Amino acid sequence: MTNHWIDIKNADCVLIIGSNAAENHPISFRWVTKAMENGAKLISVDPRFTRTSSRADIYAPIRPGTDIAFINGVMCYLIENNLYNKEYLVDHTTASYLVDPTFGFNDGLFTGYDPTKRMYAKDTWKYQLDENGIPKKDPTLSDSQCVFQLLRKHLSRYTLEKVSNVTGCPPELIVEVAKTYGATGAKDKSGTILYAMGTTQHTVGTQNVRIYSMLQLLLGNVGMAGGGINAMRGESNVQGSTDYGLLFHLLTGYLKTPRVENQTLAQYLEATTPKFNDPKSVNWWQNTPKYMVSLLKAYWGDNAQKENEFCYQNLPKLSANCDHIAMFEAMYDGKIKGLIAMGQNPAVGGPNVNKERKALQKLDWLVAADLWETETAGFWTDPEVDPKKIKTEVFMLPAAASMEKEGSITNSGRWMQWRYAAVHPPGDAKSDLWILDRIYQEVKKLYAADAGVFPDPILSLAWNYGTGEEPDVHMVAKEINGYDLATGKLMAKFADLKDDGTTSSGNWIFCASYTEDGNMAARRDLTDAPNNIGLFPKWSWCWPVNRRIIYNRASCDLQGNPYAPQKWVIKWNAEEKKWTGDVPDGAAPPGAAYSFIMRTEGHARLFGFGLADGPFPEHYEPLESPVKNLMSSQQNNPTIKIWAGEMNMVGTPDKFPIIATTYRVTEHWQAGQMTRNNPWLVELMPDMFVEMSNSLAKAKGVKHGDKVRVSTARGHIVAYAVVTNRFKPFKLNGKAYEQIGLPWHFGFKGLAKGDSANSLTPHVGDANTNIPEYKAFLCDVVKEVG
């Protein structure tokens, strides 16, 4: 989230798209309800009529996988009807930047596409530069090569009629959404967009997020109270696990994992540190060397010295993507021999679980730490398999629950909150901190006795968290914050980190979380900031530097006056020559620095040259779709990776004519181990079910409560039918297309068992992130006999 949960109350309009906030983040509705009490409108855009839709002023149904068409249609309407915020576009975005004339777009492809590599050469996706290497601009936004005009041209193809035929949403509803949400384009109004996995779990997932951001920029909603682009995260610390680099492509604090091209630290820093000539651009990532060197100091301590590149060579270097799907493909191919799963249950939560469960059988060994015996730890007990034929050794480690250990987690609003151990874990269960510490100690012992291969990173690792039975979690938290190595004092802020080896920080964005003043995450002071908009700056702590609303410089004009004085975030105090309110995005006076400090050019990027699949969002059909793409002859995103090989079958509409989507419900959580073992929650939702329209049920001879079989090219499941008016067929080009919906929480273990929806989903991911396309695929439904 650019903003945070409480801030939703400040919105004049709440647009919930690609998420079902009422069901999956119920407490968000405490603040949505507050906003509505103050007159805000609620819009729910969703393929299904959900508990969120039940509260909405406007419910707009769209076919799964058509967000880009829908929002492009909305933006087209806003631009053609002059409902956008021009001042904001000029002052805070790249709308005025001139793009190189060689850039172009034709029939679904941008310039530079290489069909053999399924990649773009991006040499035409660039700005026109002046003699100082600074992009040329046209603040009138009229130059035909300026980003705004190019965007306008791109969007002009998304007419109401076209968008309606792609999405299935009636044109009048698209207009109603555009007008209602467009009203937040007024300078002193703001609208918030709440999204989640309904947005990201598509082959165009990144562009889906991007169009929401672009809509927010058109209306001047980013940086504002009650604005922003707000990813509602589904797990209590999935923000933290991302911040801490538990992803193949990231180290901590969003530093990039070294690639094979980065043979030396100098090469790494050269490649990952952006340069920009405009002195008004803060270009925060120019500090990358300070953060990287401080991280290496936290990892390898005194062993990390300038002479040995601060132990840079100890880090593994990537040659290819090693994302979740790639990992399970490699496992299925027998390349991965051992797997350590810390509280994750891919045998239910992964895409194409028939394949992922099979992949687990290829492992020599599996270590699974969890509170429960999950379908992953117990994959060999699957009733469908013969354990005698499975060679994998499995170590099931009993882990402590949240209230049985001490430490911090980070919520979607980036608040790092400390929690305490109330009781001891049951039996032999231990915290993950203890488990990880002991595994390291044992591995180190082995390498100390027998060097094996390349023992240096292990033997020289700085790893000392006290002498107690449990590692000292405060010592870990302090290491994350970092030290001034000369004085031994905790760092006060990341602006003081150095690239010469005199400072350490295990995660630069958390630097300032645990200082000489104490553990900031444990704070419980309810004093609000002077703007009184619910920032609560002394309650816990949030990254970066306790800034509660990021990009907040964009809430003010270039004189430092807030656009919305009644809910100001920051404002310039001319007498004292400083900003007041929230922690500003940089202390520079108004107008002296551009507002989007994390963007190299300092302006929010409407022309996204960094993306794999194009600088402007373009609609492509999901990998499996019942219709031809009406927007171009490119049926699917041309830059997605297509996984061939066994168990990767793709379904076609002749055999699988029905659209399927998966989702979560209030009463269960993720892969289910935390709720399907909980009697009160099992009471509420005891069984796997599939939701469908009355018309589909009638066509298939299915009644509410019947068991039905749902099949895709990957597998089939059996579930109870919920026949409901909340599901309706989509009308696309005059023809009706049915859809079904499946919760994905169920599996073959636990108190409540059921077939896993992910037996049906494909191994295909987004072009930029490889997040799987769980949300749109093709199936067939029949009544289960017997």
Shortest separation between residue 416's beta carbon and another protein, angstroms:
7
- Please, what is the minimum distance in Å from the beta carbon of residue 139 to another protein? 39
Among 115, 383, 679, 701, binds another protein (CB under 8 A): 679
Asked whether position 666 contacts another protein by CB under 8 A, the answer is yes
Separation CA 168–CA 558 (nearest Å): 42
Q: Is residue 55 near another protein by the rule CB under 8 A? A: yes
* 547 binds another protein, rule: CB under 8 A: no
**What is the pairing mode between strands 707-711 and 777-783?**
antiparallel
Instruction: Decide if residue 448 touches another protein (CB under 8 A).
Output: no
Rounded CA gap, 766 and 756, in Å? 22
Among 121, 129, 246, 718, interactor with another protein by CB under 8 A: 246
Q: Smallest gap, in angstroms, from Cβ of residue 566 to another protein? A: 21
| Segment near another protein (CB under 8 A); pick from 346-354, 489-497, 565-573, 608-616 | 346-354
Q: Tokens 């100082």 label which residue? A: 132
Tell me which residue has tokens 């682009």.
Answer: 229
CB of 711 to another protein, least distance (A): 21
- Tokens for 586, please give them: 């940089």
Q: Alpha carbon of 141 to those of 87, 96, 125, 130, 468: distances in Å? A: 10, 5, 19, 18, 64
Among 107, 383, 633, 680, binds another protein (CB under 8 A): 680
| Long-range contacts (CB closer than 8 Å, 24 or more residues apart) made by 589-592 | 589/560, 590/553, 590/556, 590/557, 590/558, 590/559, 590/560, 591/558, 591/559, 591/560, 592/280
Among 670, 731, 753, 783, binds another protein (CB under 8 A): 670
Among residues 2, 3, 14, 29, which is the contact residue for another protein, using CB under 8 A?
A: 29
- Compare residues 105 and 440 and give the one whose CB is closer to another protein: 440
3-state secondary structure of 680: helix
Residue of 384, 442, 516, 654 interacting with another protein (CB under 8 A): 442
Rounded Cα gap, residues 242 and 251, in angstroms: 9
Nearer to another protein, 93 or 693 (CB): 693
Say whether residue 784 binds another protein (CB under 8 A): no
| 491 contributes a contact to another protein by CB under 8 A | no
The closest alpha carbon to 155, from 72, 83, 233, 65, belongs to 72
Does 24 interact with another protein (rule: CB under 8 A)?
yes
List 384, 516, 526, 644, residue binding another protein (CB under 8 A): 526
- Whole-number minimum distance, CB 622 to another protein, in Å? 17
Yes or no: say if 405 and 425 are a contact pair by the CB < 8 Å rule: yes
Distance CA 334, CA 325 (A): 14
At residue 236, what are phi and psi to the nearest 5 degrees? Answer: -60, -30
Report the DSSP pairing between strands 393-398 and 407-410.
unpaired
- Select the residue interacting with another protein from 182, 220, 534, 747 (CB under 8 A): 534
117 to 109, 120, 121, 138: CA distances (angstroms): 14, 8, 10, 36
Q: Is 426 in the site for another protein (CB under 8 A)?
A: yes
Cβ proximity of 593 and 282 under 8 Å: yes
Footprint on residues 271-330 left by another protein (CB under 8 A): 299, 313-319, 322-324, 326-327, 330
Q: Does 387 bind another protein (CB under 8 A)?
A: yes
Q: 206 vs 281, which CB is nearer to another protein? A: 206
Of 135 and 168, which CB lies nearer to another protein in the complex structure?
Answer: 168
Task: Give the residue, chosen from 145, 242, 273, 287, that forms a contact with another protein under the rule CB under 8 A.
Answer: 242
**Of the residues 143, 382, 479, 624, which one makes contact with another protein according to CB under 8 A:** 479
The size of the interface with another protein (CB under 8 A), counted in residues, is 189
Verify binding: residue 403, another protein, rule CB under 8 A: yes
State how far the Cα of 624 lies from the Cα of 640, in Å rounded to an integer. 13
Rounded Cα distance between 405 and 423, Å, is 8
Instruction: Round to whole Å and give the CA distance between 195 and 201.
Output: 11
Helix axes 147-155, 67-80, angle to 10 degrees: 120
Residues between 70 and 129 that touch another protein (CB under 8 A): none
For 563-580, the three-class secondary structure string (H helix, E strand, C coil) is CCHHHCCEEEECCCCEEE
The residue range among 50-58, 84-92, 186-194, 491-499 that interacts with another protein, by the rule CB under 8 A, is: 50-58
Provide the residue type at 59 as one letter: Y
Of the pair 205, 289, the CB lying nearest another protein is at: 205
Residue 417 CB, nearest approach to another protein (Å): 5
628 vs 704, which CB is nearer to another protein? 704
Residues 560-579 touching another protein, rule: CB under 8 A, are: none
Q: Which of residues 739-778 bind another protein (CB under 8 A)?
A: 750-751, 769-772, 774
Q: Toward another protein, which CB reaches closer, 112 or 234?
A: 234
- Minimum CB separation from another protein for residue 298, in Å? 8
CB of 771 to another protein, least distance (A): 6
Q: CA-based angle 725:728:729, to the nearest 5?
A: 155
Q: Is the N-terminal amide bond of 346 cis, ω within 30° of 0?
A: no
- Residue list 681-740, contact with another protein (CB under 8 A): 681-687, 689, 704-705, 720, 722, 724-726
Residues with Cβ < 8 Å from 37, sequence gap 6 or more?
Answer: none
Q: How far is the CB of 27 from another protein (least distance, A)?
A: 5
Task: With contacts defined by CB under 8 A, name the span among 229-237, 599-607, 636-644, 647-655 that binds another protein.
Answer: 229-237
Taking CB under 8 A as the criterion, which residues in 405-424 touch another protein?
405, 407-413, 415-417, 419-424
Name the segment binding another protein (CB under 8 A); options: 87-95, 221-229, 370-378, 578-586: 370-378
Q: How far is the CB of 438 from another protein (least distance, A)?
A: 5
Verify binding: residue 530, another protein, rule CB under 8 A. Answer: no
Backbone angles phi, psi at 552, to 5 degrees: -75, -10
Rounded Cα gap, residues 194 and 174, in angstroms: 18
Among positions 119, 134, 436, 650, the unique one binding another protein when judged by CB under 8 A: 436
Q: E strands along 102-257, which residues?
A: 105-106, 109-110, 113-114, 119-120, 191-195, 229-231
Q: Which residue has the tokens 């730890």?
A: 377
Say how far apart CA 340 and CA 266 lie, in whole Å. 32
